[in-house]
Structure 1
């Protein structure tokens, strides 16, 4: 599931990107309408989160031009600070599938995205799996062969990063970025300790000892032979 985020405010853009990635979505992001159209022409997206107030080419014009492009047509959820019925109706008339007035709660955004994807038979991913390993995107649940791993929040975030990498190596820096706040950056040994604890919990429920592999000098990855 791939989403294009079109938002000129870098703080909001980065927050949306982090939020959607946490929900299991692959994202690209940009801050201008013309750049958005270039990305939409070059790649295939399932959904566009499109800010109405963009510099240069605004969201309405982007949506109108998109609907006339001979490319894969993604769903469009327009994000608008204008709580005006006329503006929002105009967005729908230009080809948007739904709109959401800013500011909004993450839970409402998720509900709107789920509703759009459900109508288009593209359900939002609720968990990640790797063989018998399953991890929910609620920040809490993780099981192996239906046995609860009882992970801490940090362990859950680290395992989520490994699952999202799909067998590719996650560097220690990437793992730190996924599990720690910018003001609370740990050392390499802390990452190793957390991964060691995850391995121990996996081993306790019968997981293969090499389910999480060490890539020496780089980081960690999930073993493809157990996918």
Structure 2
């Protein structure tokens, strides 16, 4: 799963990215509403962690804009110091799915994130399937023909992106963004290494060696002409 953190305080940015990486989520960071909208035009995110006090736009206004997106609308968890009852009511009225007040308990935030992602019915799809390959988004344990297959976090993030594409190609840039933890760049050499390991594990579990197909000049896809 991939999250977008919209927060303009650098120390809190770093703390949130570190926590999300520890919890197994890929994440990107935006410091302004403009940056957040730019990310949302380029990428699909499952959830947005949204501060309300942004330098270029109130977070409530940004939430309203998210709720008018024509296609994918991510979940929104407002993370703010505004703790008045009226602020919380307005946050939910403007489209928030949950509201957490700063300062927050990290374990409580983790539990609220997990609960949101579990019960979401909007476009978030938790169980992803391609032939006999199954993966619950956010987990590192896949299944092939019902048999368990343990993956690393980055391998699971790669497989999740390919499963969501359902046979369509994903560019190297899209895949690199999807496995980034927001703290360090992931290069193409690392992407190839993770993809090679993922292919080996799937082949070892009984899948066709060309289940993950290289689309030259583009990236990768799950090959719709083969099955495990």
TM-score by length of 1: 0.59
Which of these residues, 107, 110, 117, is aligned with residue 106 of structure 1? Answer: 110
Kept after mapping to 2: 8 A contact 1:172/1:218: no
Q: What's the counterpart of residue 156 of structure 2? A: 156
5 Å-filtered alignment, 1:18-33, equals 31-32=31-32
Q: What's the counterpart of residue 220 of structure 2? A: 220
Larger displacement relative to structure 2 (132-141 or 81-90): 81-90
SS in 2 for 1:142: strand
Identify if the C-alpha distance between structure 1 residues 50 and 208 changes in structure 2 by more than 3 Å, giving closer, same or farther. Answer: same
Kept after mapping to 2: 8 A contact 1:114/1:123: no
Residues 1:85 and 2:89 aligned together: no
Kept after mapping to 2: 8 A contact 1:136/1:142: yes
* CA distance in structure 1 between the partners assigned to 2:179 and 2:87 by the alignment: 38
Superposed displacement of residue 214, structure 1: 2.7
Q: What's the counterpart of residue 178 of structure 1? A: 179
Greater RCO (CA < 8 Å, at least 6 residues apart): 2
Kept after mapping to 2: 8 A contact 1:142/1:148: yes
Kept after mapping to 2: 8 A contact 1:34/1:62: no
Superposed displacement of residue 223, structure 1: 0.9
* CA RMSD after TM alignment: 5.1
Kept after mapping to 2: 8 A contact 1:213/1:221: yes
Aligned residues: 211
Larger displacement relative to structure 2 (89-98 or 127-136): 89-98
Identify if the C-alpha distance between structure 1 residues 70 and 139 changes in structure 2 by more than 3 Å, giving closer, same or farther. Answer: closer
| Runs of 5+ consecutive residues of structure 1 not aligned to the other structure | none
Q: What's the counterpart of residue 199 of structure 2? A: 199
Q: Deviations over 1:4-48 (max 9, x none)?
A: 8654457739949x87xx779xx99865458879999xxxx9976
